[in-house]
Structure 1
């Protein structure tokens, strides 16, 4: 097992050498500012993501039913629907997941990370 290195030589700077010595607390103001654009919810983008998710799921289900023989169809239809279903499902799932985690307040997810269309 690797031994731990001695890191005891590090210490914070004295308060007179700090740039923010006039502040009473150690809060970094860069991370407390939230402009209105970060709090705005992009409803159109969320609706588009949900539409793509539902369209992709339905195309994937159609390709599955045709492939297993529950519906009539040709193999070329199966592969076309499968390809289109994957193309619609992946971005819809990703953006819906980002919107869900943003609404729950998960760290690292904001509504600003959803592109506004």
Structure 2
């Protein structure tokens, strides 16, 4: 059989007035702990740098594909299509994540750094 957990639970208050009380501890009064938590939004710098890296190299590959497919550079059209596919695969997620980071930095409504997955 399993052991009982060592966590001591307490029941929640039934009415709203008693839920908003101030707790007294040896350190002094503490406000209601439900509202004492503040969300600290950390900026996922590694993910933003990766997104910017994908954006830059995706753009570079799309430019190379354009030059190969239009004949401004020597090469076969299969090389141009390869760069086109790679450019799209790099550019799209890089643009998406960089756009979210930019809008979160600007403080636009609905955008935050928490929407960017951290590495």
Tell me whether the two structures share a fold, i.e. TM-score over 0.5. Answer: yes
Structure 1 residues 34 and 72, CA gap change in structure 2 (3 angstroms): farther
| Structure 2 residue ranges without an equivalent (≥5) | 1-14, 21-33
Within the alignment, does 1:68 sit opposite 2:70 as a pair? yes
Report the Cα offset of residue 19 of structure 1: 4.5
Q: Tell me, what secondary structure is at the counterpart of 1:101?
A: helix
User: Structure 1, residues 22-43: CA drift from partner, whole Å, max 9, x if none?
Assistant: 98xxxxxx9xx6422xx21111
- Number of residue pairs matched by the alignment: 92
Please say which structure displays the higher CA radius of gyration. 2
3-state secondary structure, aligned to 1:54: helix
Q: Indicate yes or no: 2:106 matched with 1:100.
A: no
Q: What TM-score results when the alignment is normalised by the length of structure 1?
A: 0.70
RMSD of aligned alpha carbons: 2.3
Q: Which of 1 and 2 has higher RCO (CA within 8 Å, sep 6+)?
A: 1
Q: Secondary structure at the match of 1:112?
A: helix
3-state SS of 1:35 partner: coil
Distance 1:99 1:34 in 2: 21
**Over residues 6-26 of structure 1, what are the superposed CA-to-partner deviations in whole Å (9 max), with x where a residue is unaligned?**
xxxxxxxxxxxx957x98xxx
Name whichever structure is richer in strand by fraction. 2
Which structure shows the higher helix fraction? 1
Structure 1 unmatched runs, 5+? 1-17, 24-29
Counterpart for residue 111 of structure 1: 113
